[in-house]
Structure 1
């Protein structure tokens, strides 16, 4: 895993040229730098799959939204136990998008008519409400409209306006509502104001950004009924909320320069901050948990965990260990008492309640992931491009070793069903992604439980909410269909 060289990012910038205007539609960053410890977010717990899953249903834009959308790409922006939200986006500039909710078991549409319009993104709250955002012009200025929908019927129940200039960067569902993050980017395009006549010219350019421009984010909290609870502006360049609903906390961080801030979710009040000048090498990190949060100091020769309650009051420390940070994230969240830590020569599990180590192992210096409250897995340090490695499962409470699976570099970890680890890809490949082969390994024995090649090599496996999905792509990398697989 490569963490950013401070101030240096490689960005893939997509420009769409329409007439004489240049419209910046998106940036995908590829961050490079030195190797750092890595603790990815545990993938959602899937339904149990003792045998290879089977296709349950398939949806594409044409069948859901009509002939006008036959060439549109389809994505699943949100899903929960009751609905799967499918959104279709047309490739042509100036064309609307479409939205529909599907029954997770049958794939049948739940709404009488699709929602056709200009929604950018959508999310589901923890209490089962749907929100979608779009850019609008109000009194000559660009604003964000948030629509609150009944996910079972598609009925728009209310709307709210965020008058901060810029565009939405993230929309996050939380337990009782939503966090909407907007940035202060200038010259924002409103899609419905663009002319749909004539195909645009699309140009791709790879740029190296040595000094990325500063960005001021604004985060606004709404409850599920559409009432604004609060709004706050984090420190410059801190963005992308990580949420602990159980702990009533969220955090934002600057992934390129360091630094993070932790807030109360109910009030938007900051309870802890660490600036980039205080963040050492390896960078300081934090974990949100149900009773508060843990931060780590990474000064050379002085690793130290510091424990805090949800109001930011310090409750203790543990010397010799630091938090294992996530992929490109300074802050992660867990639902239980256990957190993954590293001493620089070993990894282990610490208890946030007891503020003490549970167990440790020298099997890796930097990689440990909590699968759930029962299991943790350690990825061997020799797992690298062109080589195989081992994934060893431990009892998260006691540290007793369970199963060990040999995993090829071409396989990427996809999810966990409570008993089996799922990996996607060809183990012999030296790049990812590659051929969409799904493999399951038993956590207690390490043996392969089953193997499932996708019906086409143009597809990719994906986990959204509690569901296993197969997304099929065209040669232009447009997602043309979504298929649910289940036992």
Structure 2
């Protein structure tokens, strides 16, 4: 899942035996740190919603840590927040009220105990842990005028190993990308209408990097570590695709969209028609699609940008995230204006399954933790959901939620949402798990305090509760499980 829109580091997960078999069948050589290596295509959810630790019943307090324990009494800490987390380490930031660069401390996610003797000397905004277990953080303010400083930190003791400069003006974030990191920024024009994104990939030791500026407006980034591919999109208008470790431009949608638009216009009796496109990285490379009211096509490419196959009369979901698996979700419009959702296996481009929930074409479709495909659509003031098993399309739960709830992950049996089902507007937060087979609510964690004082967040595979400092308590952090 690796879309960087939410800038959340995704953790390791468990998938069904069948899906794992499909994934393993397409282990492809990629270049990381300048050497040829074979990535084991274990489900890492770089862009899909996260695979969570198993939470079969109401989560309870596993551990709690406060600001004094982590950062000492001399620092004024308003908030404790997790910047990144994996199975071995969670990076906690101690933020003051201005929420600028802050000290960080590593803790053991199983018991909350500090892993360093003292906070790191690096003041950081965002952090990520690479696939080869290296830690990097952005050390300057998140809205730099010209460049971004990336600090590489020793995960054993928090000391600074080196800092590199990335030419990337604007609001910056960092995300794991294979044995390295993607640093991504965007800066808007004076009218606030068009954005210029900058993308940089830095190897996990900081020794190698590349920088690119995609076309104006292309600022939605998604990736596949297994596919070694990064895609940058402008809504449904255009996309550019880069090789992750080299920065080589593998695909630019301009020519294909022009040709597809010309062909669609020839079929039109009403003049020019709108054309919509999408791009989705996957374990074997990437796919792009184009559609108009007259035709649609998905074009498949390998991880070197070589065109492999076209499949007509289907399209990718408009905003699908990159995937670490060898399966891509598609949509199809039938002759009677009925719409179906299905899955294509990218090893041989065969359709694994296809089904319809009877939703409208505006339906959102997403894969969840390499295990489920979920359709959603709006109905009055609610959102309805249909869950399928990714491997074979078996229909599972159908249920409704608030329109403000969104999927944040799954533990393989339950699908977890954030947002509040009882509210008619966003916040304060709640986290709710629904059974994937029955659709019934299994558990719910809810705060009744102001969102300024309490927040719930899924980071990595874990659920965290943030308590801000108030007149009666100091800032604290709780892990639920």
Q: Which residue of 1 aligns with 2:184?
A: 181
Paired residue for 1:150, among 154, 167, 177?
Answer: 154
Q: Which residue of 2 aligns with 1:26?
A: none
Q: Which residue of 1 aligns with 2:408?
A: 414
Matches within 5 A, 1:279-298: 281=274, 283-298=276-291
In the alignment, is residue 259 of structure 1 matched against residue 256 of structure 2?
Answer: no
8 Å contact kept, 2:182–2:202: yes
Paired residue for 1:374, among 367, 371, 378?
Answer: 371
What CA distance in whole angstroms lies between the structure 1 residues aligned with 2:369 and 2:278? 21
Q: Which runs of 5+ in 2 are unaligned?
A: 1-45, 262-272
Matches within 5 A, 1:201-280: 211-212=191-192, 214-255=194-235, 258-275=237-254, 278=258
Give secondary structure in 2 for the equivalent of 1:115: coil
CA distance 1:185–1:419, change in 2 (3 Å): closer
Report the number of matched residues.
407
> How far off its partner does 1:62 sit?
4.2
Give secondary structure in 2 for the equivalent of 1:64: helix
Q: Which residue of 2 aligns with 1:70?
A: 76
> How far off its partner does 1:275 sit?
3.8
What CA distance in whole angstroms lies between the structure 2 residues aligned with 1:311 and 1:425? 40
> How far off its partner does 1:312 sit?
1.6
Q: Which residue of 2 aligns with 1:325?
A: 318
Q: Which residue of 2 aligns with 1:36?
A: none
> How far off its partner does 1:49 sit?
1.3
What CA distance in whole angstroms lies between the structure 1 residues aligned with 2:432 and 2:197? 40
Matches within 5 A, 1:439-454: 439-454=432-447
What CA distance in whole angstroms lies between the structure 1 residues aligned with 2:403 and 2:195? 36
8 Å contact kept, 1:243–1:251: yes
8 Å contact kept, 1:170–1:180: yes
> How far off its partner does 1:230 sit?
2.6
8 Å contact kept, 1:122–1:132: yes
CA offset digits 1:192-251 (Å, max 9, x no partner): xxxxxxxxxxxxxxxxx8x43655444332211110233333223433532211001111
> How far off its partner does 1:418 sit?
0.5
In the alignment, is residue 355 of structure 1 matched against residue 349 of structure 2?
Answer: yes
8 Å contact kept, 1:169–1:183: yes
What CA distance in whole angstroms lies between the structure 2 residues aligned with 1:166 and 1:236? 14
CA distance 1:407–1:181, change in 2 (3 Å): closer
Say which structure is richer in strand: 1
CA distance 1:122–1:414, change in 2 (3 Å): closer
In the alignment, is residue 339 of structure 1 matched against residue 332 of structure 2?
Answer: no
Matches within 5 A, 1:471-486: 471-473=466-468, 480-486=475-481
In the alignment, is residue 423 of structure 1 matched against residue 417 of structure 2?
Answer: yes
8 Å contact kept, 2:79–2:469: no
In the alignment, is residue 105 of structure 1 matched against residue 110 of structure 2?
Answer: yes
8 Å contact kept, 1:359–1:398: no
What CA distance in whole angstroms lies between the structure 2 residues aligned with 1:348 and 1:54? 37
CA distance 1:159–1:406, change in 2 (3 Å): closer
Give secondary structure in 1 for the equivalent of 2:412: coil
CA offset digits 1:158-212 (Å, max 9, x no partner): 22233x37345221221111122355789xxxxxxxxxxxxxxxxxxxxxx8x43
Tell which has more relative contact order, 1 or 2 (C-alpha 8 A, sep 6+): 2
8 Å contact kept, 2:103–2:119: yes
What CA distance in whole angstroms lies between the structure 2 residues aligned with 1:384 and 1:474? 39
CA distance 1:215–1:426, change in 2 (3 Å): closer
What CA distance in whole angstroms lies between the structure 1 residues aligned with 2:476 and 2:275? 42
What CA distance in whole angstroms lies between the structure 1 residues aligned with 2:188 and 2:396? 50
> How far off its partner does 1:154 sit?
0.6
Measured on the aligned residues, the alpha-carbon RMSD in Å equals 3.2
CA offset digits 1:121-155 (Å, max 9, x no partner): 2211111111122349xxxx964332211223112
Paired residue for 1:464, among 459, 467, 470?
Answer: 459
Moved over 6 A (4+): none
Q: State the TM-score, normalized to the length of structure 1.
A: 0.75
> How far off its partner does 1:435 sit?
5.4
What CA distance in whole angstroms lies between the structure 2 residues aligned with 1:71 and 1:229? 34
Give secondary structure in 2 for the equivalent of 1:343: strand
Q: Which residue of 2 aligns with 1:172?
A: 175
8 Å contact kept, 1:435–1:457: no
Paired residue for 1:160, among 160, 164, 169?
Answer: 164
What CA distance in whole angstroms lies between the structure 2 residues aligned with 1:165 and 1:290? 28
> How far off its partner does 1:71 sit?
4.1
What CA distance in whole angstroms lies between the structure 1 residues aligned with 2:477 and 2:413? 26
Q: Which runs of 5+ in 1 are unaligned?
A: 1-39, 187-208
